[in-house]
Amino acid sequence: MSAFDLTGKVALVTGANTGIGQGIAVTLAKAGADVALVARRDPAETRELVEAEGVRAQVINADLSSIEPCARVVAECVGTLGRIDILVNNAGIIRREDALQFTEADWDAVMDVNLKVLFFLSQAVARHMTGWSSRDGARGKIINIASMLTFQGGIRVPSYTASKSGVGGLTKLMANEWAAKGINVNAIAPGYIATNNTAALQADATRNRQILERIPEGRWGDPADIGGAAVFLASSAADYVQGHILAVDGGWLAR
Ligand code: NAP
């Protein structure tokens, strides 16, 4: 099982104060990694949960609606925790509106956080990783959080669908370019997970019933359900996995 051990590794997780980001941060900590928590609000609860696992937690305050803080985020993490072995691009937002009424503001806001910042933070971290991977032979790991809408069209979420479809393509592009430079780039596509992101769907009785009817597991996912996939993709057990989009969806796509 040592292939799954992350002891001594440093993970940087964006959007770590709540939901899937918190679930991933805590599970990476359970596997032994120190974790830098990137958030625009104080991720006090996540910090406590990570430190309870006996590893280091670092809070990095950043608003990821623009690429402006990307270089600083990398520098702060490397300055305090020494380096970055694992990047989890989790921060994301969603805007719901009929396609006929959808605004440019709702398009830009979602594309900026979910796609543009994901790419430029990956670029900043990959520049750092290529610095040490050529020296010590270890591999860097980048994990992007995709969606069912990386594969499907969805309804009333045009910019979200565009961004998450883009995350699928970028995951493959980055894997193609950086595999030979010592970096694995993969994605996790969560199914329907009970978080703030899906609060509106959970509150809509009809949509909630329709969603549950299609999930073979018969329940909403929990943020902790995503953690195991993140540990796998972050670990040396996944050194030969590249450009893959791993669905963790209770069987949604199988139906
Ligand atoms: P969530 O609870 O709303 O978490 C989103 C996280 O991203 C929060 O920590 C949020 O911070 C952060 N974030 C958003 N905009 C940010 C910004 N400008 N700067 C810094 N942080 C920012 O929802 P979630 O479901 O856990 O979402 C996490 C990821 O999973 C997203 O990429 C989402 O698209 C994806 N996903 C979710 C589902 C699902 O069913 N829940 C399914 C597929 C994919 P604040 O708390 O400050 O807003």
User: Could you report the per-residue pLDDT of 151-195, keeping only the tens digit for each?
Assistant: 999 999 999 999 999 999 999 999 999 999 999 999 999 999 999
Identify the pLDDT of residue 193: 98
Q: Which atom of ligand 1 is nearest to the CA of 64?
A: 19
- The predicted structure's pLDDT at residue 17: 97
Cα separation, 182 vs 85, whole angstroms: 11
The reply to whether ligand 1 has any atom less than 6 angstroms from the CB of 93 is: yes
At residue 172, the pLDDT reads 98
Q: Which amino acid belongs to residue 87?
A: L
Q: Provide CB contacts within 8 A for 49, sequence distance 6+.
A: 22, 25, 26, 29
**Among 9, 23, 2, CA closest to 221:** 23
> Residue 135's pLDDT is what?
86
8 A C-beta contact, residue 22 and residue 223: yes
Nearest CA residue ID for atom 11, ligand 1: 15
- Half-sphere exposure of residue 138: CA atoms within 13 angstroms, side-chain side: 18
Q: Where are the domains of the chain?
A: 2-250
Q: What is the pLDDT of residue 134?
A: 81
Q: How far apart are CA 10 and CA 246, in angstroms?
A: 22
The third-level CATH classification (topology) of the domain covering 2-250 is: Rossmann fold (3.40.50)
Classified as helix, coil or strand, 58 is strand
Q: For ligand 1, is residue 196 a contact (CB within 6 Å)? A: yes
Element (H, E) at 156: none
Give the Å distance between the CA of 118 and the centre of ligand 1: 12
Report the Cα–Cα distance between both ends of the chain, in Å, rounded.
32
Give the residue-averaged pLDDT of 18-24. 98
Task: Determine the distance separating the centroid of ligand 1 and the alpha carbon of 90, expressed in angstroms.
Answer: 6
Report pLDDT for 133.
85
